Amino acid sequence: MSSEARGVPVVGMAGGGQLARMTQQAAIPLAVELRVLTGSAGDSAARVIPGSTIGDERDAADLSAFAAECDVLTFDHEHVPQPVLRELEHSGHTVRPSAAALEHAQDKAHMRQALGAAGLPCPDFAVVSDAEEARRFAVRLGADTVVLKAITGGYDGKGVWLCPVDELVSCEAFAAGRPVLAEELVRFERELAAVVVRRPSGDVVAYPVVESVQAEGICVEVLAPAPGLPTAVAQAARDVAVGVAELLDVVGVLAVELFATADGAVVVNELAMRPHNTGHWTIEGAVTSQFENHLRAVLDLPLGAPDLVAGPTVMANLLGSDAPALHANLASVLGRDPGVHVHLYGKQVRPGRKIGHVTVVGEPGSDVDGLRHRASAAVRGLRGEGGDDT
């Protein structure tokens, strides 16, 4: 019998990475049939989802054939080209978030222009074609350093350059000969993320605002909620995220990465319209995970509670090291800490690649440093870096 005949909703996800993989954990209890279109049967999500379609999720024909089998199409990443997305919508497929919304997660200049025009807090910015235009932007700001970003395609610190004005002429940002986004360097105290989920009807839930600890442009740790964050700043961050979701008519998860400055302001750094690394803690730490709420949202089902289940929660990313034998290290990590949650993505291990994460949920009032210590010890253990907890 076809799944349609059983009345089971079918959600198709373009891309088969760890986000699709973790979405399967949420799809199982809801009896939502999750399908992925991905490049290889060995991809992270394809290993755990039956009947994955092997193909190119950026290709109009492959994606159109895939979407025809699904009630709704959603995304593991933001790399499906706009013309493909527009064509799918034009053909009558349900695409969530929409092509128009997704464009703001794909094109940083487009995002800055839209948010800036709506009065949402952003760094000062300009689209520049070369080093000379970037220099003039810096002079206008009175800045000795600017941030340059590839307008499309950057991730995890790639496609971002912090450049002193007198070195602009040799900055790699201009090597491709394409316009780049020049931004004011925001002097921030810490980085926050506000994850919200929105239904087509407009209902929104907002997870507690988290602190995202970065190293070399990669998120290494998430503290939920952001420790000691003044209520007014948390509210401002949430308001910005809800504002962005409404402005851009986002459906599904929207993660807004923000800079928090010393004077209590929040400034939008990046957007993502899919389950996001800063929301992985919700699997164990929140009543409803971001993955379940993403599914509910794209199916236009009522959203689940985003509240903490217990106390503060810490998530630490596991980045690939030169020691690939993850499972060989699992026993000692689990043996040292019976409360740690290990997530392995089933991906080939490469140095620096996100291949898993660990989560530790504290009791109400738990000491966050203690939780960070446990999460970090587990990550080091999985990387084969020994049992020394100090």
Task: List residues near a second copy by CB under 8 A.
Answer: 1, 7-9, 21-22, 24-25, 27-31, 33, 42, 46-52, 205, 283-284, 287-288, 296, 301-305, 309-310, 324-328, 330-331, 334-335, 338-339, 341-346, 356, 361, 364
State the nearest-atom distance from the C-beta of 261 to a second copy, in Å.
Answer: 33
State the nearest-atom distance from the C-beta of 11 to a second copy, in Å.
Answer: 12
The answer to whether the CB of 108 falls within 8 A of the CB of 122 is no
State the nearest-atom distance from the C-beta of 309 to a second copy, in Å.
Answer: 5
d(CA 346, CA 59): 25
Helices (H), the chain: 18-30, 60-67, 82-90, 99-106, 108-117, 131-141, 231-247, 282-285, 290-298, 326-336, 368-382
Residue closest to 266 by CA, chosen among 383, 371, 120 = 120
d(CA 126, CA 109): 8
Q: How many CB atoms lie within 10 A of CB 295?
A: 26
Helix (H) or strand (E) holding 193: strand 188-198
Considering beta carbons, is residue 50 or 92 the nearer one to a second copy? 50
State the nearest-atom distance from the C-beta of 78 to a second copy, in Å.
Answer: 23
State the nearest-atom distance from the C-beta of 224 to a second copy, in Å.
Answer: 15
Considering beta carbons, is residue 133 or 284 the nearer one to a second copy? 284
State the nearest-atom distance from the C-beta of 327 to a second copy, in Å.
Answer: 5
Q: What is the CA radius of gyration of the chain?
A: 21
Q: Two tokens at 102?
A: 């997704």
Considering beta carbons, is residue 215 or 309 the nearer one to a second copy? 309
State the nearest-atom distance from the C-beta of 5 to a second copy, in Å.
Answer: 11
State the nearest-atom distance from the C-beta of 368 to a second copy, in Å.
Answer: 18
Considering beta carbons, is residue 6 or 90 the nearer one to a second copy? 6
Question: For residue 277, how far is the Cα from the chain centroid?
Answer: 5
The answer to whether the CB of 292 falls within 8 A of the CB of 219 is no
| List of residues 6+ apart from 298 with CB closer than 8 A | 11, 72, 74, 96, 251, 252
Q: How many CB atoms lie within 10 A of CB 60?
A: 17
Considering beta carbons, is residue 181 or 303 the nearer one to a second copy? 303
The answer to whether the CB of 382 falls within 8 A of the CB of 356 is yes
Considering beta carbons, is residue 3 or 145 the nearer one to a second copy? 3
Considering beta carbons, is residue 227 or 324 the nearer one to a second copy? 324
Considering beta carbons, is residue 121 or 320 the nearer one to a second copy? 320
